[in-house]
Amino acid sequence: MRLVGIHLKAELLALFRVPGFLIPSIGFPPLFFIMFAAPNAANTQVANQLTASFMTFAVFTVVFFQFGVNTAQERENPWYTYLKTLPAPPLTRTLALLATGLLFAALAALAVALTGALSTPLEINAGTWARLSLALLLGAVPMGLLGVSLAYLFSPKAALPVANLIYLPLSFLGGLWMPPEILPRWAQSISVTLPTRHWAELVWAAVRDRPWPQTSLLFLALYTLAFAALAGWAWRRARPE
Amino acid sequence: MPTVAALHQVHKRYRAHPALQGVDLTLNRGEVLALLGPNGAGKTTLVKILSGLLRPDRGRAELFGRDPGDHRARRLLGMTPQETGFPPTLRVREVIELVQAHYENPLPLSPLLARLGLDRLAGRSTAALSGGEKRKLAVLLAFAGNPKLALLDEPTTGLDVESRRALWREIRAFRDRGGTVLLTTHYLEEAEALADRVVILHRGRVLAEGSVAEIRAMVGVKKVRFTSPHPPSLPGFEAIRENGTRVTVYTSDADALVRMLVTNGHPFSNLEITPVSLEEAFLKLTQEKT
């Protein structure tokens, strides 16, 4: 456990010293929020929903790229190969990476929440924050696993473009940028099948203080299983021996 | 002498390319073993198997009595990373402390830095190090955890003479404290300066193994070439190859060969005696073995 902390520290130092990675990941969701969401947040209910949507988008960005592209680059880097020769229990680094991702995702979500609180009539009580956090975490798991799958399915150079190709439509069609009701009809019919949509449904239910929709819980559970299986298969396929 | 690590009939292939074909190797406590071989001989694969990065397809690897893939086997193993891959966002001290954190009883940092001439670089980002400094840091990392076995992959390639001597001193001091070293190198000179035992790997097989003196005798052959109108009779000498009227003989005793040519009254001209390079010695040894 002490070693996990040490690897976590090294990872965080590495992240915070590369502003080119930190600023877009933490800064873009609040920026988009100010430009596209805040002007439409006329009342508390809309403000809550839009803030929650953009928090989901922020968490999605971090877990997807943190695990997707980062894992792909780790595979190439001789330093990470070297770390594997050190006497550490097998899950040490994985746990450290997981903790890094979660911390970083929390930070990105917090940046959106602060922006929402400052620029819109946002009103969320403590109990709702707790449910919102849990909903964000529930969806972060399958999306992180999808990122890992991409990292092992594609070469490190291809992983980033492929990830972008998946990330943008998943965000847009999932209703993370604008409420799904105002999407075009064709987009709406795709939207209801996407993991990001069902993630967002849980998040919206949390901020509206409604029970979590069973269908979305089921969908998200199935996506989690499917992406876990895909990640496992891709990992085994990519091993050198 | 107690065995620190061993390979038993290890085979490893990458797709169609066989990297190791039945290698046996034993590392005894307190010795420096030099692993020599041309590029592609299987040295890197061997080191990867001993450090648990790869599993043998067949055969068995053993490190402190365990499978090298088991992290407990590696508690007393130190190793050089590839110097191209240091995390550019970390400082030298941070990299060393990260590695040391994995060991129970790491070496005190400051004297170690000083001995390798890296003390003034501790606060510098690894991205700002020169090639030679990175190489020294790589060797330092192998020793930093106070291991009992150090795997050093080409520790001094590309270093200036002074740095090379400093690293050699460090390696000897480690051995004198009871440490075991496996080092891979291109330099015969390095093996001569450090190694108690030398193993020559070629095309995934152990081609020769012995003390430095034995290996030096093996690769200390000379190449004797001369022009002769008809094939000479040279009892006791082998590997005579003719190329038109040009004769080539590989021998460890060029003097005796020339004496024989003269006393037999064999006509010859354009006599050349040249030491063979390590590469040529490898080739000669391979031809003999296959």
Statement to judge: residues B95 and B182 lie in one domain? yes
Considering the domain architecture, whether residues B13 and B57 belong to the same structural domain is answered as yes
pLDDT band at B265 (very low <50, low <70, confident <90, very high): confident
Are B127 and B92 contained in the same domain?
Answer: yes
Answer yes or no: do B47 and B127 share one domain: yes
Residue from A92, A96, A75 nearest A239 by CA: A75
What's the burial of A231, exposed, middle or buried (CB within 10 Å: 0-12/13-18/19+)? buried
Per-residue pLDDT, averaged over B224-241, amounts to 76
pLDDT band at B228 (very low <50, low <70, confident <90, very high): confident
**Contact yes or no for B86 and A88 at CB 8 A:** no
Q: What is the ipTM of this complex?
A: 0.81
Number of domains in chain B: 2
Interface test with A, best of B66, B91, B98 (most A CBs within 10 A): B98
Same domain? For B174 and B259 the reply is no
> CB A87 to CB B72 under 8 A?
yes
Over residues B74-89, mean pLDDT: 88
Share of chain A above pLDDT 70, in %: 99
Q: What is the mean pLDDT of chain A?
A: 90
* B245 and B207 in a common domain: no
The CATH number of the domain holding residue B152 is: 3.40.50.300
Residues 29 through 68 of chain B touching chain A, CB cutoff 8 Å: 51-55, 57
Residues B185 and B276 in one domain: no
Cβ of B13: how many Cβ atoms within 10 Å? 15
> Considering B217, B235, B258, which residue would you say is the last residue of a domain?
B217
Interface A-B: count of C-beta contacts within 8 A: 63
Any idea what the CATH number is for the domain that residue B266 is in?
A: 3.30.70
**A29-33, A56-60, B118-122, B249-253 — which is least confidently predicted?**
B249-253
| pLDDT tens per residue, range A45-104 | 999 999 999 999 999 999 998 877 777 777 778 888 899 999 998 788 888 888 888 999
Distance between alpha carbon B269 and the CA centroid of its chain, in Å? 39
Yes or no, beta carbons of B85 and A90 under 8 Å apart: no
Which pTM does this prediction carry?
0.80
User: Is residue B188 domain-shared with residue B266, that is, in the same domain?
Assistant: no
End residue of a domain, out of B185, B202, B217: B217
d(CA A33, CA A58) in angstroms, rounded, equals 10
Which residue of A2, A7, A78 is in closest CB contact with B81? A78
Query: How far is CA A29 from each of CA A51, A63, B147, B218, B230, rounded to the nearest angstrom?
Result: 10, 14, 48, 69, 87
Same domain, residue pair B124 and B230: no
From chain A, the residues in CB contact with B54 under 8 A are 240-241
C-alpha torsion sign, points A96, A101, A102, A107 = positive
Same domain, B38 and B172: yes
The domain boundary, picked from B157, B185, B217, lies at: B217
Closest residue in B to A19 (Cα) is: B89
Point out the residues of chain A with pLDDT beneath 50: none
pLDDT of residue A13: 87
Model confidence over B90-113: pLDDT tens digits? Answer: 999 999 999 999 999 999 999 999
Residues B107 and B250 in one domain: no
pLDDT for A97 equals 86
pLDDT of residue B1: 65
- Per the structure, the complete domain to which residue B236 belongs is given by 220-289
Do residues B58 and B148 both lie within one domain?
yes
